[in-house]
Amino acid sequence: MNHKLLRNKKCYGSIARINGLKFEHKIVEYCKKNKYQVVCKLRTKYPQLTMNGYFQVYRNTKVSSIYNKKTTRKADIYYQDGKYTIGISVKMSNRGTQLQIVSLSNFIIYCKYNKIKVSDEIIPGMERNYEPVC
């Protein structure tokens, strides 16, 4: 086995994380420079936000999940205005792909956790119509 190739393969994840973190910092700097426009855009979904906040890159990527385990945080940066924290996911277009596959049972657990009513009567219909993509 080519150990140099193996070593390089292991580095790809680290390189991607470093590039992603650099990109997140650039986005935060952009948001700081264009705070009025960015916060106005956020207000279309979160009208309660004030202009008194700040943008920051999340430091800790592990958070508690609904299964009492740790999971990776889905937001990369956030806007904090003292009362509210809005997480924002940052993606580098044309440089990578993110894919999440959710099982039907995990989707139902997630819905119930977020107080989205999923009655036991519709679960059989969801199971019948659930077709995995791959």
Token output for 39: 């916060």
Cα separation, 63 vs 80, in Å, equals 18
Task: From residue 72, give the alpha-carbon distance in Å to each of 3, 4, 13, 77, 96.
Answer: 30, 30, 15, 13, 18
Cα separation, 59 vs 40, in Å, equals 25
**Max alpha carbon distance in the chain (Å)?**
58
Per-residue pLDDT, averaged over 99-124, amounts to 76
Residue of 86 and 133 predicted with greater confidence: 86
Q: What pTM value is reported for the model?
A: 0.56
Cα separation, 66 vs 31, in Å, equals 31
Mean pLDDT, the chain, rounded, equals: 77
Domain boundaries, the chain: 3-93, 99-134
Per-residue pLDDT, averaged over 67-73, amounts to 73
pLDDT digits (tens, 9 = 90+) for 25-44: 898 999 999 999 999 999 99
